[in-house]
Amino acid sequence: MKNSKTSAAAFAAAVLLALLPGMATADELRWNDAMKAAERASNESRYADAEQFLRTAVKDAEEFAPGDRRLELSLSFLATILFSRGKDAEAERTYLQAVKILEKNLGPGHLRVANSLTGLAAIYQMQGKYAEVEPLLLRSLAIREKVLGPDHPDVATSLSNLANSYSAQGKSVQAETLFRRAVAILERIYGPEHLLVAGTLNNLAVLYGSQGNLVEAERLLKRALRIREAALGPKHPDVAANLNNLGAFATSQGKPVEAEHLLKRALAIQEHVWGPEHTDMAITLGHLGAAYES
């Protein structure tokens, strides 16, 4: 689930739609400005700046009346950014706080509960806590299917997230079925070259690689990279994720020179966006070391 940082940008866009017009008090105006600044910073991959703006927004929202949804909005957006920056422990606490508020104010079957459950599951996935991941994702999927219907893009996202969890546990048959269903939904809605299709293609390609279906794995990885570069530009972290996967794949195919080129591109993007201490860089460096040893 963490292969993509587009969740931060997607959440930011949703938050902007929720900003309340006509706010008059100083605290409300300050909160509104902080959230908009965080959205801009997130869209520009300035996640450290986004985090600081969101901490300001949370502090302001805590001064609003009990039950004001702006506190939950601030916490959920902050949790998304914290997770993107590799601050998993704090992201977990923040998601849990947001879920508690949401369930109290909106009820356990609300779509915003599904969103926060998905974010919390992503953290547990990174920690290898699969027994905790599956029920959260199944609950999120059930909420979205009930509220949105079975062919909604958010349902496709839930299917892909659950497939990622199954893939990490070696449940390849279940994972492939869910990935293919997710791709079919997204292609039907958006067309085959849409950015949202790329993330699921990337994950399905990784699964095919683990199954030994190397021709199909390489085809899907290159297709996903082409889509992302066209939509996001060559220096986006999601492009780096694809380059990382292609580099690891090239190493496995005995192509160390090609792997080195791809992985160094990924590292340059990751260091620029995240800084040298981010966990994504450690993963890519490990793949580069494997390429040198091959």
Q: What is the pLDDT of residues 216-249, one digit of tens each?
A: 999 999 999 999 999 999 999 999 999 999 999 9
Predicted confidence at residue 15, as pLDDT, reads 46
More confident residue, 264 or 122: 264
User: What's the mean pLDDT in 139-159?
Assistant: 97
Contacts of residue 59, defined as CB under 8 A and 6 or more positions apart, other chains included, come to none
In a domain, 7, yes or no: yes
* Segments forming the whole domain that contains residue 7: 1-148
CATH number of the structural domain spanning residue 15: 1.25.40.10
Q: Is the pLDDT of residue 5 over 60?
A: no
In a domain, 14, yes or no: yes
**Residues 176-222: pLDDT tens digits?**
999 999 999 999 999 999 999 999 999 999 999 989 999 999 999 99
In a domain, 58, yes or no: yes
User: What's the mean pLDDT in 116-140?
Assistant: 92
In a domain, 119, yes or no: yes
Tokens of 247: 């580099």
Predicted confidence at residue 21, as pLDDT, reads 47
In a domain, 33, yes or no: yes
Predicted confidence at residue 1, as pLDDT, reads 46
Predicted confidence at residue 127, as pLDDT, reads 85
In a domain, 223, yes or no: no
In a domain, 191, yes or no: no
Q: Model's pTM, two decimal places?
A: 0.72
Q: Comparing 6-10, 51-55, 56-60, 83-87, which segment has the lowest mean pLDDT?
A: 6-10
In a domain, 24, yes or no: yes
Q: How many domains does the chain have?
A: 1
Predicted confidence at residue 23, as pLDDT, reads 45
Q: Is the pLDDT of residue 9 over 60?
A: no
